[in-house]
A = this chain, B = another copy of it.
Amino acid sequence: MDFSLSDEQRQLQDSVGRFVRDRYPFEQWRKITDTPEGFAGENWRQMAELGWLGVSLPEEAGGLGGSPVDTMVILEGLGRGLVAEPYLSTVVLGGGFLVLGGTPEMRERELPKLAAGDLKLAFAHAETQSRFSLEDVVTSAKAAGGGYVLNGRKIVVYDAPAADKLIVSARTGGAGREREGISLFLIDRDAPGVHLRAYRTLDRRRAADVTLEKVAVDAGALIGVRDQALPLIEQVVDHAIAALAAESVGAMQLLTETTTEYLKTRKQFGQPIGNFQALQHRMVDILIATEQARSMSYMVTMKLDRPARERSRAAAAAKVQIGQSGRFVGQQAIQLHGGMGMSDELNVGHFAKRLMMIDMLYGNADHHRQRFIALE
């Protein structure tokens, strides 16, 4: 039992820390997220050069063959800077699907591009009726001429506008919320019949609703086993949850430090407001919430390799904790900053918003508490 980082991981941690300090001071973040793309291509290239895009890919695919802990170290660091590049979508989700479910040809073709920064991906799964249920898929893929034709609508696909390809779930069988019958396809973002309605999100990322109208793909676009994609989706989404946990811990840590500092410097009634016991105790509760989230981030990361049930229960528990901690830390950081906390010019509100979106992504605390129960 050991909770410490290896020397290599510590170096990686330092490297991410430098990247965020150099490229993501708050004013820079604002500029980057104000561009039409919402992120900086040169940052993306830098990430590729540093090897981060391939950190979890097998070595034969140009990756580093790293462990979930490496991904955690990167995401926790990126969380401190609200880093906007599509790391989660491309590397954790996209890379996860390709590594775990891609055909040999697909892996050989796509993974080196991904590692090199030449392939951005987005995962198009949620639908208007599905809320957070991964098995609730209506979008259809009908076999036709050796391939498939897809029809349907996916909502709030983070990072879709910049993606080169989409990973889309669709029903090749079954209906409603049946676990069987779901398949995954790798589709060009620009393929005929793929329509994006792009927009900005609360956390200043870019997302889109994606309509699929008679989108034809060949059989080689299938990821994983036909009709049997749900366990793969669950596995990769659990990896995404672990990554979100790490990212949220980075964000909470930043808010904890920022707010503590504010309490030390802001004066009212002739003294730093950090002298007031009620605010001290609130700040302690913020610290505790952050530390509990950190513990769960470590826990789920180390359980990603366990059998599905144990892995998913760990992910569900972690998601509950980071959702609740994140909301509390974000909201209280605003409260303790008083009027200043309400200003868009301060970083605090933006961290709070990202934490709120992290709670929602792939299911909020209520959803995962139910999942945790179901998996007992």
Contacts and interface: CB of A to CB of B under 8 A. Distances in A.
Contacts of A281: 278
Contacts of A278: 277-278, 280-281
A3 interface: no
A278 B281 CA distance: 7
Interface of A: 276-278, 280-281
Looking at chain A's contact residues, is the secondary structure mostly helix, strand, loop, or mixed? Answer: helix
A123 to B, nearest CB: 36
A276 B278 CA distance: 9
A287 to B, nearest CB: 15
Contacts of A276: 277
A336 to B, nearest CB: 14
Number of copies: 2
Nearest to A281: B278
A263 to B, nearest CB: 14
Nearest to A275: B277
A366 to B, nearest CB: 16
A276 B277 CA distance: 7
6 contacts: A276-B277, A277-B277, A277-B278, A278-B278, A278-B280, A278-B281
A272 to B, nearest CB: 14
A271 to B, nearest CB: 13
A168 B322 CA distance: 51
A362 to B, nearest CB: 29
A354 B276 CA distance: 35
A65 to B, nearest CB: 50
Nearest to A276: B277
A164 to B, nearest CB: 49
A370 to B, nearest CB: 17
A361 B182 CA distance: 50
A369 to B, nearest CB: 16
A181 B74 CA distance: 66
Contacts of A280: 278
A315 B106 CA distance: 64
Contacts of A277: 276-278
Nearest to A280: B278
A281 B277 CA distance: 10
A261 to B, nearest CB: 21
A50 B277 CA distance: 50
A242 to B, nearest CB: 33
A278 B277 CA distance: 6
A8 to B, nearest CB: 44
A366 B281 CA distance: 29
A277 B283 CA distance: 14
A124 B277 CA distance: 50
Nearest to A279: B277
Counting from the closest, the 5 A-B pairs by CB-CB distance are: A277-B277, A277-B278, A278-B281, A278-B278, A276-B277
A114 to B, nearest CB: 49
A278 to B, nearest CB: 4
Of listed A277, A280, A281, residue having the most chain B CB within 10 A: A277
Nearest to A284: B278
A278 B279 CA distance: 8
A274 to B, nearest CB: 12
A278 B285 CA distance: 13
A281 B280 CA distance: 13
